């Protein structure tokens, strides 16, 4: 049986896992900016949503990091990236009156969700190989 050698798909999965772990950690270390983009339609305290989404990101990172759970973790990450899109829309709307660099950064987040979803789907497909 051939030994598994790390390849491009393993590196891609590792990068995605690190991105999610970093974002998840940020939700706990500096929760304020995340609280501010929780859509008002969601019930309860925004901080609870911030912590919950941070915990989900950490769990997704762990799922993607482990080859045995990578496929499921990456599929769930794709759904998560699509699911947090309303928070990015809220941020772009809320930051309409901010200085131009901040306004542009908030708007730039919107199309970034598409490559994140596609990246997670590719990691999932590659996990089957």
* Residue indicated by tokens 């051939």: 2
d(CA 4, CA 2): 6
Other CB atoms within a 10 A radius of the CB of residue 21 amount to 17
d(CA 129, CA 125): 7
* Between 94 and 7, residue with greater pLDDT: 94
What letter does residue 5 receive in the DSSP assignment? P
Q: Quote the pTM value.
A: 0.85
Tens digit of each residue's pLDDT (9 = 90 or more) over 83-103: 988 888 888 888 888 888 888
Length of the chain: 129
15 half-sphere exposure, CB direction, 13 A CA radius: 11
- pLDDT (mean) for 31-52: 92
Q: Is the pLDDT of residue 2 over 60?
A: no
């Amino acid at each position: 049986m051939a030994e598994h050698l790390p390849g491009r798909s393993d590196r891609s999965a590792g990068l995605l896992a690190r991105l999610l772990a970093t974002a998840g950690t940020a939700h706990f270390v500096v929760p304020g900016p995340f609280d501010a983009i929780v859509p008002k339609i969601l019930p309860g305290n925004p901080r609870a949503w911030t912590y919950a989404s941070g915990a989900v990101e950490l769990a997704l990172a762990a799922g993607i990091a482990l080859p045995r759970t990578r496929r499921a973790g990456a599929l769930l990450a794709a759904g998560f990236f699509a699911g947090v899109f309303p928070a990015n829309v809220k941020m772009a709307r809320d930051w309409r009156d901010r200085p131009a660099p901040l306004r542009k950064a908030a708007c730039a987040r919107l199309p970034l969700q598409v490559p994140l979803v596609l990246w997670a789907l590719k990691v999932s497909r590659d996990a089957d190989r």
